Amino acid sequence: MREIYLDNSATTRCFPEVAQLISDILLERYGNPSSLHHKGVEAEQELRKAKQILAQILKCNASNLYFTSCGTESDNLAIIGAARANARRGRHLITTKIEHPAVLETMKYLEGEGYEITYLPVDENGLVSPQQAADAVREDTILVSVMHTNNEIGALEPVSEIGAAIKAKNPKVLFHVDAVQGFGKAVIHPKKMNIDLLAASGHKIHAPKGIGLLYVGDNVKINNIIYGGGQQGGMRSGTENVAGIAGMALAAKLLYDHLDEELDKLYAMKETFIQRVSAMPGMRINGLTGRESAPHVISLSVEGVRAEVLLHALEDKGIFVSSGSACSSNRPHISATLSAIGTPDKLLDSTIRISTSVMNTQEDMDAAAAALEELVPLLRRYTRH
């Protein structure tokens, strides 16, 4: 049976070129970049090359970039690091109700440490209002954190406008953006967008798991949260994951070299899929569609069918999707994003997420739509109303 992988917001398949490069580095250029001999220098050169590629994409300096183990660690380092470095200036932080647990749980931790957190609401499409964000900023606010692209419904937050609005109210406030779902699918230039701290993750862009990126703007003060050998200027101790770093940089380059064509392809696949499933009764697409939404995320509520049942029925046909957000599926809960946008209670448990990548084809989407057309009426017959 052909595998149709439509859970790319959970993780992606490695690009073959990336897997090859990683294999070469693990087998040939495996030195520790801190070593003084030739093997160390070779590894150090891989690091430098990767930083240059990523710096070019983000239009920043290589010195603005730090590598971590994942998007979660990048978010933790940005938020906890900023809170600790700026505690004397204030103890108030702002975020939104629809952030990923990597941000929400970090904020909860800080609440326990005596910080005060404001959680901004979103509208029915999951969008944060720049004006509301600015209104929430106070003299003692040290950081605002808003995601670039929501992982559950694909809302594209107006980050540039939010950055400008909060800085106009209080120029000292730091702006953190979780771009784990946006990096690789959108042009992101932190400096131009008033972003001080930006998190990204390798495994969402066809690089392996175990590598994350944090952009830290010039003159932005954050404390390290890991202590050790002082690698990466002491900001993130621990021997660098050279192969992962090089792999992430290559994956990003492959995506950004052809971004416009890839976006055209992803939006076209999304559009035809939505048109076809919307023609079925009792289907609802959550959030905006078209270019106002993320190119790769489709949140679909299927009236009268439990998401988990539909997920496994699709799996029987070799089609892999997720229910709600895969990143938190080991802790059953009602999706914070779906609740925040006012999804009716009866649909909370009936929502699946279909997330695509450039490795998918139109045939994949047609097969998924055909499977839904076949399965949904059948499953509805067996669901008690």
Give catalytic residues, as residue numbers: 327
Contact (CB, 8 A) for 118 and 138? no
| Closer of 203 and 236 to ligand PLP (Cβ) | 203
Longest dimension (CA), the chain: 70
Question: Tokens 């008690």 appear where?
Answer: 384
Retrieve residue 312's tokens: 């496994």
| Closer of 4 and 102 to ligand PLP (Cβ) | 102
Residues within window 316-355 making contact with ligand PLP, judged by CB under 6 A: 327
Residues within window 187-206 making contact with ligand PLP, judged by CB under 6 A: 201, 203
CB of 91 vs ligand PLP, minimal distance in Å:
24
Q: Is 244 in the site for ligand PLP (CB under 6 A)?
A: no
129 secondary structure, DSSP code: P
**Torsion 114-115-116-122 (CA) sign:** negative
Residues within window 246-305 making contact with ligand PLP, judged by CB under 6 A: none
Binding mask 130-159 for ligand PLP (x = CB under 6 A): -----------------x---x--------
Residues within window 205-224 making contact with ligand PLP, judged by CB under 6 A: 212
CB of 62 vs ligand PLP, minimal distance in Å:
22
Q: Is 72 in the site for ligand PLP (CB under 6 A)?
A: yes
Contact (CB, 8 A) for 250 and 232? no
Residues 6+ apart with CB under 8 A from 355: 6, 7, 8, 9, 10, 296, 297, 298, 321, 322
CB of 340 vs ligand PLP, minimal distance in Å:
14
Question: Tokens 């998401």 appear where?
Answer: 307
| Closer of 11 and 86 to ligand PLP (Cβ) | 11
Residues within window 158-187 making contact with ligand PLP, judged by CB under 6 A: 178, 180-181
Closest residue to bound ligand PLP by CB: 71
Give the neighbor-by-neighbor strand order of the sheet with 174-178. Answer: 65-68, 212-216, 197-201, 174-178, 141-145, 92-96, 116-120
Which residues here bind ligand PLP, judged by CB under 6 A? 70-72, 100, 102, 147, 151, 178, 180-181, 201, 203, 212, 327
